[in-house]
Amino acid sequence: MAAPSAFAQRLDARVAQALDNRLVERVGSGSRRRAARALAAVLVTPVHLLSVVLAVTGILLLVRGDGWWQWLMAAFVLGVAWVTRPDVLGRAEPDTVLVAPPTAPALTDLVAEVAALLGTRPPSEIRVDPHLNAYVAPRGLRNRQLVLGAPLWVALSPQARVALLGHELGHLAHGDLLSGQYVGSGYRTLHRWVELLDPVGSEVFENSTPVLVQAVMAPPRWIVNGYLRLLVAVNAAASRSQELYADLASAVVAGTEGAVGCLETSLLADSVGSAAQRAALDGRRPDLGEAIAARVATIDAEQRAAARRDAAEDRRSIDDSHPPTADRLRLIESVEPAPAGIVVDSARNGRIDRELAPGLQQAFKRLGDAYRYVG
């Protein structure tokens, strides 16, 4: 395994090559990325300050109030403060399944090896969830969690899985989590404000909201919605640059072929989803993970190439925070091909599969239930 310093030099060289050749302009200049990140932080700061003001105001009304009306107002303000509170520290999502290190030593060692190559601390928790995605997030004050989406994990080849780990831990190595959590928590708070100011269909009014209430709440909801859209637009440049940098890290960790395979598999989301749905609705109750893996195995090189052409034409991306997948692939394939820093052989991959089987089974049960009982 290459030393972290050697890895840093290789990654810096690849970033420099990408910038010098202007292969994907969204990698952008460092000044543009820093400016976007700073402006997003400025925009989200009043959102956090409002949360603090609401909490302090509610406490003061509760402590210093001398009448029932002030205590009632305190309860209302504290209720709003609680509903719109920022999730700065991070928490485990309820649909995730914890993978305990003693039960998954091979996976834990692989994640630690990727983290060491990237020169960052490994996450304190590894979790599995039922979504076609993966991400890193804070967990408490100093810890971080890595969440692997079960459908994506079983759809990937062994080396593409290494690329996925390299991409996600690349965010940690690049320091994306700190700035991303500060902005992201404000983003989620604004979403809660929009929901709070949208009384249509509220249980309070038994799904029949008075027109006067809708009219009163509409203007502030429009303002909050506009502010939210502005924040998303400003932060997009920084987020997309972070994703491209993480893609380059994944290529150095897993090799160019592994990184390309990981991104190409993300373009097969419709096939993965349909395979999972068919298996979930099948009365024989086949294993969803096996159904997904079998479906992906039938997709040949020609079909993958067609998926890439379609993605390039419609500028498809995972979401607004990610660049178009075609641009991400173009970046990885345009720089000098990278050998894999970490190679996972079939024996090691088999051990990881066996270790993850209980967590994947729980995640797929939740996914299957979601398909069967939707609506």
Nearest partner of 154 among 357, 375, 14, judged by Cα? 357
The structure tokens listed for 269 are 């989301």
The structure tokens listed for 40 are 């997003």
The C-alpha atoms of residue 373 and residue 353 are separated, in whole angstroms, by 28
Cβ atoms within 10 Å of 222's Cβ, excluding its own: 12
Nearest partner of 263 among 220, 355, 173, 325, judged by Cα? 325
* The pLDDT of residue 7: 56
| pLDDT tens, the chain, 375 aa long | 445 555 555 555 555 554 444 444 444 445 666 677 788 888 889 998 999 999 999 999 888 878 888 889 989 899 888 888 887 666 778 889 999 999 999 999 999 999 999 999 999 999 999 999 999 988 876 788 999 999 999 999 999 999 999 999 998 887 776 666 777 778 788 888 888 887 654 444 445 556 776 677 778 888 888 888 888 877 777 777 788 888 989 998 999 999 999 999 999 999 999 999 999 999 899 999 999 999 999 999 899 999 989 888 887 777 667 788 888 898 898 888 888 999 999 999 999 999 999 999 999 999 999 998 864
Residue environment code for 325-335, b if the CB has 16+ CB neighbours within 10 A, otherwise e: bbbbbebbeeb
The β-bridge partners of 148 are 128, 134
Q: Go through the chain and tell me how many residues it has.
A: 375
Q: How far is CA 64 from CA 74, 81, 135, in A?
A: 10, 18, 44
Nearest partner of 290 among 301, 280, 300, judged by Cα? 280
Q: Which residue has the tokens 């909050």?
A: 224
The C-alpha atoms of residue 122 and residue 116 are separated, in whole angstroms, by 8
The C-alpha R_g of the chain, in whole angstroms, comes to 23
* The pLDDT of residue 155: 97
The C-alpha atoms of residue 341 and residue 343 are separated, in whole angstroms, by 7
pTM of the model: 0.79
Q: How far is CA 48 from CA 33, 185, 187, in A?
A: 22, 9, 10
Which backbone phi and psi does 126 adopt, to 5 degrees? -120, 130
* The pLDDT of residue 178: 60
* The pLDDT of residue 314: 81
Give me the amino acid identity at 224. V
Dihedral, CA atoms, 258, 34, 84, 60, nearest 10 degrees? 140
Q: Which residue has the tokens 């609401």?
A: 54
The structure tokens listed for 317 are 């991306």
* The pLDDT of residue 352: 97
Burial class (CB in 10 A: 0-12, 13-18, 19+), 321: middle
Dihedral, CA atoms, 58, 63, 68, 69, nearest 10 degrees? -40
* The pLDDT of residue 217: 77
The structure tokens listed for 182 are 């500060």
* The pLDDT of residue 11: 58
Q: How far is CA 84 from CA 21, 188, 193, 277, in A?
A: 45, 8, 6, 35
The structure tokens listed for 333 are 């394939």
